[in-house]
Chain A
Amino acid sequence: MNSPNMYKSAVKPTWCAGCGDYAVLSATLRAFAEMGWANEEIVAVSGIGCSSRFPFFLKTYGFHSIHGRALPVATGIKTARPELNVVAFGGDGDGFAIGAGHFVHTARRNVDLTYIVMDNHIYGLTKGQTSPTSGLHFKTKSSPYGNVEFAIHPLVAALSSGATYVARGLSSDPKTLKELFLGAMQHRGFAMVDVLSPCVTYNKVDTFKTFRDRSKPLPEDHDVTDLIGALSMAMDDTVMHTGVFYRAEKPVLGDHLEALKSKDGREWEEIIEGILRGMT
């Protein structure tokens, strides 16, 4: 088996000591190792944020793009080179605020890629503002009197938009996290894992402890093929369930695009010349 270390770059993570994202990194390295992927066949894509620094810490191809745009960049890569293993990383602000539009559309297209969100309910990189997953009344620098908005349900958004693998994990439980990542990487289709990954510097409310206290593994008998069941679990505001909510086999975007391509064996020049002649 490949060693997790072979996917680790020489760049030391810039995260604060104690940041939840370290556990996501080590779980990712182990999942890569178990997948047995060649380094050069992996492309790690991200937006902007503390969590989006991820690609720098991997010894793979990487694209640290702009805030909120990891998924369209990843879609472009996967569309052009379906044989590559494309994994996108980011934060809750990156994915569910500025990038929310891309998130639902990437799910809808069922692009064959893995999307790992480090969800700390806060904006880390910009030093502590309210995020779309911050709770109501949560006080931050941008909501000093308490957050006046309700939080988004990322998993519900993923499920209702057509994601075909939807899971939630905790960075305090790296073993399970690795399993969830592995499942996502093995899955053919848009696989999203929302990781409750605390920002120890700017979020004193959503900590390793409170995330653990408020979460609970999905019931043993949870049926991962039942979309409505998955949705109701994801909607549950009393407890944040962890584990695989939903898994489905569905054609991926690449399958549909491939099916459109004509395979009549004609040369490229001949085809273009045919188009030109049709315009006389």
Chain B
Amino acid sequence: MACNELVIRIAGEAGEGVISTGDFLTRAAARAGFHLITFKTFPAEVRGGHSVFQLRVSSDQVFTQGDGIGLLVAMNEDSFDKHKEDLIHGAKVVYDSSVYTPEVDESVIQLIGIPFFALARDELQFELGKNMIAVGALARLLNLPLGEISIMLTKKFRRKGERIVQRNEAALELGWEWVKKNLGDEIGLYLTPPRVKEELMLATGNEAVALGAMAYGLKHYFGYPITPASEIMEFMALHLPKVGGVMLQAEDEIASIAMAIGASFSGVPAMTATSGPGLSLMSEALGLAGIVETPVVIANVQRAGPSTGMPTKHEQSDLYVSMFGGHGDLPRVVIAPVSVRDCFEQMIVAFNVAERLQLPVIVLTDQSMAVRTQTIPMPRLNNVKREERLLWEGGEEPYLRFEPTATGVTPVAIPGMKGGEHVVSGLEQSEEGRPRYDGETHARMTEKRFRKLKEVPSMVDGLLQFGEPNADVGVLTWGSAAGEAREAVKILASRGQPVAGLAVRLLSPFPMNEVLDFMAGKKAVVVVEMNYQGQMASLIEGRQGPRTKIHKLNQVTGVPFRTGEIISILEEVAR
């Protein structure tokens, strides 16, 4: 028997190798072409405490980390007790039979005992080999390629010497052979190989943001550490110098964005990334970028707020600050990717928009997609479409930095261009860049800056439709909640219950008409977002047609929605 997909959770004490076991299996599965999403928790302490690694493996695209566990690998009794509630009907539990035996109703749950510890001690005289025995055993149970794991193992342990490599290699094989000999192929955990085998890579949302920026051609990054966005900065620190670029760690977020704006003023694409507290600090400079018409991209990885909030916890509560934060009438674009893969793609879009329209673009991701590892199709650099800033071409006429144009976009002279000398300012300014306080100039210039936004909808794929568009019930969402919503709609469709789905990617300028069209005539629309106030729902409430009832599904528990919760409310409103 084989399965198309499986949610595997590995749990144990910190230091028991939970995370490394998960990493081996993840990479092996990805190399075999399986799609997957992983989720890990580390205990707060460096040692001691409980570790969890969850991976959802599938022969098809996956949207969420999965609600219930199909295979629990519990290294000790305590770990089993902590997670038994999440086991689905028919789940399997792999446990260390030399340590304990879980108490379960064996008509519902299948137990697979493997004496990891005893094998390591008695067969190998190498107690630490327990983890690699588990990797080998699980690889056999799941039918993952042993050869790939062996290559990864050598790479991982090479620095520790040949002997360590050999001992771990022996452990890996022992686990594999033990399962082969004692359990055969009868367990039913064999994963069906993917139908189309495409080349996949593994990335977190944060890595995808960084890679998207680099694929656009970014070479100048300025940042300040903040959970859960720091990995973007660290990725840049590691990789930007390789392409002749620069990552500079600023003294605070105001400095990071000011540096990025300065770099951009000098003519290069530039970005920063942060989380809520940093974005709040940046709001004055965001307005500066808007008025001096300097492109800048800000990735904001949302976490639970307000204030310091819950730094490591998931939330989507920065919609308001992203759309409306900062004083004055400030033209900006806000794009929220809907998945890890989308993080990569929307970063390229963000740079295209920022550079072409000379304005600040916020890319709004969130903790859930930022830290999970997911398979994404290997990007092809030659498919990347890049837009560049419109540069001044010189000439005899005096250069006017803010000369009016039909699109609102004025060619830029950058330092070094002779004859293009000009001053930009946070003050309202005339066409040539001189301070002006008369209302007429302010009105003209404000309109010019906002005129640029007209082009945005044609540059951003602002809406992601899914499900059955004509269904009487709809689900409306944004950001990573789109993953859970898509999964819910897919499951309901398989049960014969059609639901229309819409994820809004372009949050500012908000595609109000399209969203209202989506809702038009529907009986009920559920707006799913991870915040308390219903920040997106509040934008549309009261504007929909008389028949449509809006239901808000909000949650601020710090963890993503369960698909089941979305299914329940959709079923309820459909009745």
Contacts and interface: CB of A to CB of B under 8 A. Distances in A.
A20 B234 CA distance: 46
Chain A interface residue bracket vs B:
35 or more
A276 B426 contact: no
B74 to A, nearest CB: 29
A60 interface: yes
Interface stretch (B163-171, B241-249, B312-320, B458-466): B241-249
Contacts of A61: 415, 420-423
B266 A81 contact: yes
A84 B381 CA distance: 32
A64 B425 contact: yes
Contacts of B382: 269
Interface in B416-441: 416-427, 434-435
B80 interface: no
Interface stretch (B90-98, B200-208, B528-536): B200-208
Contact of A72 (B211, B245, B258, B381): B258
A56 B435 contact: yes
A269 B284 CA distance: 36
A147 interface: no
B270 interface: yes
A272 B215 CA distance: 7
B251 A102 contact: yes
B115 interface: no
A242 B416 CA distance: 35
Contacts, number: 177
A65 interface: yes
A79 B246 CA distance: 8
Given A73-B265, A76-B258, A105-B251, A272 B415 contact: no
A145 B568 CA distance: 67
A264 to B, nearest CB: 8
B543 to A, nearest CB: 36
Most chain B Cβ neighbours within 10 Å, of A72, A262, A272, A280 = A72
Interface string B16-31: 0000000000010011
A43 B266 contact: yes
Given A62-B423, A64-B423, A73 B214 contact: no
Contacts of A261: 241-242, 244-245
Most chain A CB inside 10 Å of its own CB: which residue of B258, B270, B417: B258
A72 B426 contact: no
A272 B381 contact: yes
B220 A64 contact: no
Contacts of A75: 248, 255, 259, 262
Interface stretch (A34-42, A128-136, A204-212): A34-42
Given A56-B435, A64-B423, A40 B201 contact: no
Contact of A69 (B241, B285, B425): B285
B379 interface: yes
Q: Which of B202, B239, B262, B422 has the most CB of A within 10 A?
A: B262
B242 A40 contact: no
A48, A56, A77: residue with the most chain B Cβ atoms closer than 10 Å: A77
B416 A81 contact: yes
Contact of B255 (A84, A102, A279): A102
Given A11-B434, A40-B417, A272-B214, A72 B423 contact: no
B262 A74 contact: yes
A79 B244 CA distance: 12
Contacts of A43: 266, 415
B421 to A, nearest CB: 5
Residue with the highest number of chain A CB atoms closer than 10 Å, among B27, B201, B259, B424: B259
B519 interface: no
A56 B427 CA distance: 11
B73 interface: no
A120 B199 CA distance: 65
B261 interface: yes
B288 interface: yes
A115 to B, nearest CB: 14
A209 to B, nearest CB: 32
Contact of A63 (B252, B379, B423): B423
A22 B424 CA distance: 21
Given A65-B258, A80-B270, A280 B30 contact: yes
A76 B270 contact: yes
A7 to B, nearest CB: 10
A66 B284 contact: yes
Q: B202, B265, B285 — which one has the most chain A CB atoms within 10 A of its CB?
A: B265
A182 interface: no
Contact of A64 (B251, B381, B421, B424): B424
B378 interface: yes
B415 A81 contact: yes
Contacts of A262: 241-242, 244
13 contacts: A41-B415, A56-B423, A61-B422, A72-B258, A76-B220, A80-B266, A80-B267, A101-B251, A102-B255, A261-B245, A268-B217, A279-B207, A280-B200
